[in-house]
Homo-oligomer: A and B are copies of this chain.
Amino acid sequence: MAVWARFQTKDGNTSFGTVANGQITEFSGDMFNNPTATGKTFAEADVKLLAPTQPTKILALWNNFKALGEKLGKAAPVHPLFLLKPVSSLAGPNDDIVRPKAYTGKIAYEGELCIVIGKKASNVSVEEAKDYIFGYTCINDVTAGELLNEDPNFAQWTRAKGYDTFSCIGPVIQTELDWASKNVVTMMGDQERQNYPLSDMIFNPYEQVSRISQDMTLNPGDCIAIGTSIGIGSIKDGAVTTVTIDGIGTLSNKLVG
Which residues of A pack against B, CB within 8 Å? 56-57, 59, 62-63, 74-75, 77-79, 81-89, 100-102, 122-123, 150-159, 162-164, 214-219
Contacts and interface: CB of A to CB of B under 8 A. Distances in A.
29 contacts: A56-B88, A57-B86, A59-B158, A62-B154, A75-B152, A75-B153, A77-B154, A78-B150, A78-B151, A79-B151, A81-B151, A81-B154, A82-B158, A83-B83, A84-B84, A84-B86, A84-B162, A88-B216, A88-B218, A88-B219, A89-B216, A102-B123, A154-B155, A155-B155, A159-B215, A162-B215, A163-B216, A164-B216, A164-B217
Contacts of A86: 56-57, 84, 216
Interface of A is mostly: loop
Task: Give 9 closest A-B pairs by Cβ, nearest first.
Answer: A84-B84, A81-B154, A102-B214, A88-B217, A57-B86, A84-B158, A162-B216, A74-B153, A88-B216
Contacts of A75: 152-153
A177 B219 CA distance: 35
A214 B162 CA distance: 11
Contacts of A79: 150-151, 159
Given A77-B151, A83-B83, 18 more contacts: A57-B87, A59-B158, A75-B152, A79-B150, A79-B159, A81-B153, A82-B156, A82-B159, A84-B85, A84-B158, A88-B216, A100-B215, A101-B214, A154-B155, A155-B155, A162-B216, A163-B216, A164-B216
Contacts of A85: 84
Contacts of A83: 83-84, 157-158
Contacts of A215: 100, 102, 159, 162-163
Contacts of A88: 56-57, 216-219
Given A88-B57, A214-B100, A81 B156 contact: yes
Contacts of A77: 151, 153-154
A125 B78 CA distance: 43
A110 to B, nearest CB: 16
A155 B63 CA distance: 13
Contacts of A123: 101-102
Contacts of A216: 86, 88-89, 162-164
A51 to B, nearest CB: 15
